[in-house]
Amino acid sequence: MLTQFQAVGQALFTQGLVFSQGGNLSVKLGEHLVITHRGSTLGFIQEGDLVETGITKNNRSTPLASKELEVHRCIYRNTSALAVVHAHPPYAVALSFTEKEIVPCDAEGQVLLSKVPVLSTEQATRLEDIAEEIAELLNEYRIVLVQGHGTFAVSQLLEEAYYYTSALEQSCRLLYLLKTLRITPG
Ligand SMILES: [Zn+2]
């Protein structure tokens, strides 16, 4: 379990998909989830950086969990996901301001993601306020992009949710470059 978190955290960090203390990871274990500690740095996860708490019930560890805990809980309550990766990939976040959905133009992105919805945050000041909308979209899509914030990806495995995050950022980087060159893909 720890090595899974470490491998995915390090990959996200070295690829610039999270910075400093941003982003968080979790996996579901029955009625519980294991989530990264509040303020932990994903690039350098240690044993003490993992917190186990209930999906519906709080315990002594709950206050130590990532501040995005409620979004992870909501996703597990409303989808069949067993793992969640939340990241702040810069090209994807940049495009979230101008696009309503991301349609990858590269082969890998098309195969893995096909289409990624962008969730507007006009009304919401906190992610918690749109947790249900995030979860609802994740029943249909593997990854959702929250405007001006970042991504939530789900899968049965942490590693797979990371692949979706990485693939989306790669697609967004290409789309960004094509926009800069004023080329319309398709
Ligand atoms: Zn975040």
Per-residue pLDDT of 132-176, as tens digits, reads 999 999 999 999 999 999 999 999 999 999 999 999 999 999 999
The pairs formed by 10-16 with CB atoms below 8 angstroms and a separation of 24 or more are: 10/42, 10/43, 10/44, 10/45, 11/162, 11/166, 12/42, 12/43, 12/85, 12/87, 12/162, 12/165, 12/166, 13/41, 13/42, 13/43, 13/44, 14/43, 15/166, 15/169, 16/89, 16/90
pLDDT-wise least confident of 10-24, 56-70, 99-113, 115-129: 115-129
pLDDT score for 143: 98
Residue 76 pLDDT grade (very low, low, confident, very high; cuts 50, 70, 90): very high
CA of 137 to the centre of ligand 1 (A): 17
CB atoms within 10 A of CB 169: 22
Q: Which residues contact 66 (CB under 8 A, 6 or more apart)?
A: 24, 26, 35, 36, 37, 38, 40, 51, 72
Model pLDDT for residues 33-56, shown as the tens digit of each residue: 999 999 999 999 999 999 999 999
pLDDT score for 186: 65
Residue 124 pLDDT grade (very low, low, confident, very high; cuts 50, 70, 90): low
Q: Which residues contact 94 (CB under 8 A, 6 or more apart)?
A: 172, 176
Residue 52: Cβ-neighbour burial (10 angstroms; 0-12, 13-18, 19+): middle
CA of 90 to the centre of ligand 1 (A): 12
pLDDT score for 8: 98
Whole-model pTM: value is 0.94
Mean pLDDT value of segment 51-78: 95
pLDDT at residue 63 greater than cutoff 70: yes
Q: Taking Cα atoms as reference points, which of 44, 107, 38, 111 lies closest to residue 72? A: 38
CA of 70 to the centre of ligand 1 (A): 12
What domains lie within the chain, and their CATH numbers? 2-180 (3.40.225.10)
Copy the structure tokens of residue 153.
């990806």
pLDDT at residue 22 greater than cutoff 80: yes
CA of 42 to the centre of ligand 1 (A): 12
The fraction of the chain above a pLDDT of 90, given in percent, is 86
CA of 186 to the centre of ligand 1 (A): 31
Most confident of 8-12, 45-49, 126-130: 8-12
Residues with CB under 5 A from ligand 1 (ion): 150
